[in-house]
Amino acid sequence: MVVRGVRHSLVFPADIVRPVMADDQTPRPAGEPDDYPSGAGQGWTALSYLIGGMLVWGFIGWLVDQWLDTGGVATGIGFVLGMAGGVILVIRRLGTPT
């Protein structure tokens, strides 16, 4: 389409946004590979991996501490390992672009 001598595309950027009308929606197929929860779900998942990782491996480290009586070192190592694991999980699960 040519407007005042300038060629314009008929596809406006706003049309790329998914249509809002209920009937017009093409529902997202459940079961795409790498189909993870969007938006709020991802945020809470990321946070729960981080905190969960720290808690789980910190707890295991604390148990090792009580067993071997190392006085806090094992708990610290557990926290750091758990945090590393949490970060790896976030990167693997949520960080791979579709």
Sites of contact with another protein (CB under 8 A): 13, 16-17, 22, 25, 27-38, 40-58, 60, 72, 75-76, 79-98
Would you say 5 or 97 has its CB closer to another protein? 97
Would you say 5 or 34 has its CB closer to another protein? 34
Q: How far is the CB of 87 from another protein (least distance, A)?
A: 5
Would you say 64 or 94 has its CB closer to another protein? 94
Number of alpha carbons in the 13 Å side-chain half-sphere of residue 32: 8
Q: How far is the CB of 7 from another protein (least distance, A)?
A: 21
